[in-house]
Amino acid sequence: MDSAILTGIALEFGAPLYVYDASKIEAQYKRLTSAFNKVPHLRLNYAAKALSNLSILRFMNQLGAGLDTVSIQEVQLGLLAGFQPESIIFTPNGVSLEEIEEASALGVQINIDNLSILEQFGSKFPDVPVCIRINPHVMAGGNSNISVGHIDSKFGISIHQIPHLLRIVELTNMRINGIHMHTGSDILDIDVFLYASEILFETAKNFKDLEFIDFGSGFKVPYRPGDIETNIEELGKKLSKRFNSFCEEYGKELTLAFEPGKFLVSEAGYFLAKVNVVKQTTSTVFAGVDSGFNHLIRPMLYGASHEIVNISNPEGRERYYSVVGYICETDTFGSNRRINEISEGDILCFKNAGAYCFTMASNYNSRFRPAEVLWYQNKAHLIRKRENFDDILRNQVDVEVLKPKADQAVS
């Protein structure tokens, strides 16, 4: 999206504001399906946790995606968005047996990642098909904060526990219809990912009634011009060939599943914030915006780098700025960034703001969460209203005994 369109949207809806480009989401979806077009049965389950706005979910459903969910609330959102229960997979971590039972009762695919719950669920519901999440102990990404495949990860059942797993399946006579892994985000080394896939194929041989194998996702997207990214086309060519070969060995055509989140929506998202103040110190020029980590926490939480551009002055000369927020904590979005000259009142655009941005927003400092807009068919559609003070107070209970008495003097 160009600066003029984004500036117009900011003028119409105000800032701070999240904007999502539907055409980019669709292009990423088609890119992924095209890369794996040699596989007879492909299923892309969009990871709702990346961006769970109801309108985004409806759009994913229109594209033909399934849905990857991690909470009963995401399951309910998916059903409300129009997904059929059988196109939703429930892959929680550390939830209660009761929550898994609730999801199962809604008819979605259950994916279990620990032996305790597997045994309990299998004992109670042996006829309900279950997918098993395996931890292959392979880190396909480069950031330990967002890798979930290491040996100390809380996610998945260790490959070293396969004998125990098989004993549970045999004793409960439960039905295993899927095998799953997710090694983490920012996958760059395709050979490492393929190595992890071989572990999954080997594990799959233990189960005779599989319907699908889910390889997770975590594909790296570029965060700045010239940035490295996962070579989806190369991965598609290599994994498709190996997957089809495995299906021949297995004696049955299986579905190849992925659960892309960031890959589909990250580059489609833009976060717009207004500059409140330009502050010069002895060594730094700060651009303070009307936002903070209450709206966009990834730079502070993960050290994530979002490209920042001044859409109010796209042709201005570049200067160095540290872009900071208005939260009473250290909330630096970027230090000493080269940005076109900034004046108070300008709108700054943070790119790659589609994934894990609004969904991680909060009301810290009693600030309102921003509005969301979907740019669809060359028109801006409001898909979430900006919060107001009533939203801050909603669900709070004003305890009667703490209220001042009518005759109590105010000091």
Average pLDDT of 386-396? 96
Q: Residue 259 belongs to what H/E stretch?
A: none
Report all structural domains of the chain as residue ranges with CATH numbers, in order of start. 22-265 (3.20.20.10), 269-388 (2.40.37.10)
Confidence of residue 408 (pLDDT cuts 50, 70, 90): low
Distance CA(256)–CA(188), nearest Å, equals: 20
Answer whether residue 232 shows pLDDT above 70.
yes
**pLDDT number for residue 23:** 98
Active site residues: 328
Assess contact for 109 and 214: CB atoms under 8 A: no
Reported as a single tens digit per residue, the pLDDT across 365-376 is: 999 999 999 999
Compute the Cα dihedral for 297, 299, 302, 307 and give only its sign.
Answer: positive
Assess contact for 90 and 100: CB atoms under 8 A: yes
Answer whether residue 407 shows pLDDT above 90.
no
- The CB-side HSE value for 371 (13 A sphere, CA atoms) comes to 17
Query: How many CB atoms lie under 10 A from the CB of residue 246?
Result: 19
**pLDDT number for residue 140:** 55
Helix axes 115-124, 162-172, angle to 10 degrees: 10
Distance CA(128)–CA(146), nearest Å, equals: 32
Reported as a single tens digit per residue, the pLDDT across 141-171 is: 554 443 444 456 788 999 999 999 999 999 9
Reported as a single tens digit per residue, the pLDDT across 110-148 is: 999 999 999 999 999 999 999 999 999 876 555 444 344
Q: Residue 279 belongs to what H/E stretch?
A: strand 269-280
Average pLDDT of 309-316? 96
Assess contact for 366 and 328: CB atoms under 8 A: no
pTM (predicted TM-score): 0.93
Q: Which two tokens stand for residue 191?
A: 């050979």
Q: What residues contact 183, with CB distance under 8 A and at least 6 apart?
A: 136, 138, 139, 140, 141, 147, 148, 149, 193, 196, 216, 218
Reported as a single tens digit per residue, the pLDDT across 271-303 is: 999 999 999 999 999 999 999 999 999 999 989
Average pLDDT of 305-314? 96
Q: For the chain, what is the mean pLDDT?
A: 93
